[in-house]
Chains A and B, each alone.
Chain A
Amino acid sequence: MSNGHQCDVLVIGGGPAGIAAATCAAESGASTLLVDDNPRLGGQIWRSTAANDIPGQARRWLNKFKASGCRALCDVHIVDCIGDKVLRGESGRGIQTFMYSKLVLATGARERLLPFPGWTLPNVFAAGGLQALVKGGAPIQRKRVVVAGTGPLLLAVASYLKRRGAKILCVAEQAPWERVAHFGVGLWSRPTKLLQAAAMGAALGAVDFKAGCWPVAARGDGVLREVDFHGSGGRFTLACDYLACGFGLVPNLELPRLLGSEVVNGFVAVDEWQQTSIAGVYCAGEPTGIGGVDSALAEGHIAGLAAAGRRHQARSFFRSRATAREFEEVLSATFRLRPELRSLCGGDTLVCRCEDVRFDRLRQMTGWREAKLQTRCGMGSCQGRTCGTAAEFLFGWDAVHTRPPVFPARVETLAADTVASTN
């Protein structure tokens, strides 16, 4: 029943960081296995479409990955660690166990969703969430879409959806104009970023971009009908089919935390070789700092080469990593969240959408642990991945919630543990 795998280097996560790490490790001669939770490789940024149409950079990397001889298993989510250097995962093909010598964690990031009245209505999506659904074949032609929240992802999403036939009513960026403009000017020193921005600008054309603007309420009758915004000229309302709303990215730290890797200021701490506080466990990409694809590729190269014992080669990527990390700092300063976003909830606004926990109940709690025990906040299917991130921002709590299984698992998966340990 159990499906055992052994390798020198195990890479968790098939986005740019994981693909670069796995390719480099395999090219160095290490027996390498890449495991990903999604049905297809590429992660979020290189997600292919239903029509299998993917960007050039992604195609080149996926080809390089295939040529490296690295094995890949998709649709497997890691649920726990069942021994020294043994992880267990669950998939449609049954329970899988992974024994490794070196481990590279490239678990990526998710979007930060913030609650406001009406945010639980169907057709209110995360920003990248709507893009992912459209890539999966969701209808977008002639849909009236508002893209809101913060960060460069908003423009990328808006330009993609527009190309696919959406009517983008507005892009609402919470950061003030001064900071967004400063960020735009800063791009002149980064030619590749500037090219991306120019391509997006051309695709967006006459789209209405509003800085210092954010959603305050969504309304509808079982499905989204209209959204109220706070803008520089006061409050306004837009009738729309879809709201795509994300407030930046947060790293997926469940697996690094499960393994005991040290986390400092919300990110996995790594040394110059991308090694975490646990010897032989490396980390690359968004979990070490939100820096986008350039940062992920540089860190992935270093982690994969170092894990395969090729430190001298890894060193040649130090410079591109340093450049990418400067960009991380610019990103986080430009798109830091404004305090007004903490006061969007009404008393009856749900913060935990799995367990339907209202804002007014959580406000009475002293911390995340009490909230979990008293209200079941964070105890539902998503295990606090959505509301924990929101609670950290709204209440300043440290919503660390890692305990095995780190991903909702089936009883038979957990029961297999007993079988394994009694045999």
Chain B
Amino acid sequence: MPESIRLIINRESVDVPEGTTLAAALLRLGKAAVHRSPSGELRGPVCGMGVCFECRVAVNGRGHMRSCQTICEPGMEVRTDE
């Protein structure tokens, strides 16, 4: 079994298997939507390969990070904007 990684998503502690992408971690939490479009629609990941930017979240204070291209790391602080 892979090791477990603990990260913080919207101030909540979350454990995921090592190697999990952040987009997958958010889906495991039941977060299908991670940000809002300019007109306020809820949006979540689509392409899974870093092209569409719909999965973007803030990671360690840095905005516009594509969660599908980010591997979860211990202590990572994540903010969604939905």
Q: Does A pair with B?
A: yes
Q: Is B51's CB under 8 angstroms from A386's CB?
A: yes
Q: Which B residues are CB-close (under 8 A) to A132? A: 47-49, 68
The number of chain B residues touching the other chain, given as a range, is: 35 or more
Find A129's partner among B16, B28, B48 (CB 8 Å cutoff): B48
Q: Is B68's CB under 8 angstroms from A136's CB?
A: yes
User: What's the Cα separation between A137 and B69 when bound, in Å?
Assistant: 12
Give the distance to chain A from B52, nearest Cβ to Cβ, in Å.
5
Question: B12-38: which residues lie under 8 A (CB-CB) from chain A?
Answer: 16-21, 23-25, 27-28, 32-33, 37-38
Q: Is A386's CB under 8 angstroms from B33's CB?
A: no
User: What's the Cα separation between A223 and B31 when bound, in Å?
Assistant: 10
Known: A137-B21, A138-B28. A355 touches B47 (CB 8 A): no
**Total contacts A to B, CB within 8 angstroms?**
128
Give the distance to chain A from B1, nearest Cβ to Cβ, in Å.
9
Q: Which A residues are CB-close (under 8 A) to B48? A: 125-126, 128-133, 136
Q: Which B residues are CB-close (under 8 A) to A133? A: 21, 23-24, 27, 45, 48, 68
User: By the criterion of a CB under 8 Å from any partner CB, how many residues of chain A are at the interface?
Assistant: 44
Known: A356-B37, A408-B64. A223 touches B42 (CB 8 A): yes
Q: Is B68's CB under 8 angstroms from A385's CB?
A: no
Q: Is A222's CB under 8 angstroms from B42's CB?
A: yes
Q: Is A51's CB under 8 angstroms from B19's CB?
A: yes
**Whose C-beta in chain B lies nearest to the C-beta of A136?**
B21
Q: Is A50's CB under 8 angstroms from B37's CB?
A: no
Give the distance to chain A from B28, nearest Cβ to Cβ, in Å.
5
User: What's the Cα separation between A20 and B2 when bound, in Å?
Assistant: 30
Give the distance to chain B from A45, nearest Cβ to Cβ, in Å.
11
**Whose C-beta in chain A lies nearest to the C-beta of B56?**
A381
User: What's the Cα separation between A130 and B37 when bound, in Å?
Assistant: 21
Q: Is B42's CB under 8 angstroms from A137's CB?
A: no
User: What's the Cα separation between A408 and B25 when bound, in Å?
Assistant: 24
Q: Is A137's CB under 8 angstroms from B51's CB?
A: no
Q: Is A138's CB under 8 angstroms from B27's CB?
A: yes
Q: Is A38's CB under 8 angstroms from B20's CB?
A: no
Q: Which A residues are CB-close (under 8 A) to B23? A: 133, 136, 138
A310 within 8 Å of B (CB atoms): no
User: What's the Cα separation between A132 and B20 when bound, in Å?
Assistant: 11
User: What's the Cα separation between A224 and B37 when bound, in Å?
Assistant: 16
Q: Which A residues are CB-close (under 8 A) to B71? A: 39
Q: Is A353's CB under 8 angstroms from B54's CB?
A: yes
A346 within 8 Å of B (CB atoms): no
Q: Which of A93-101, A116-124, A325-333 contacts B (4 or more CB under 8 A)?
A: A116-124
Give the distance to chain A from B32, nearest Cβ to Cβ, in Å.
4
For the complex of A and B, the 4 pairs showing the least CB-CB separation, nearest first, are: A132-B48, A136-B21, A137-B20, A122-B44
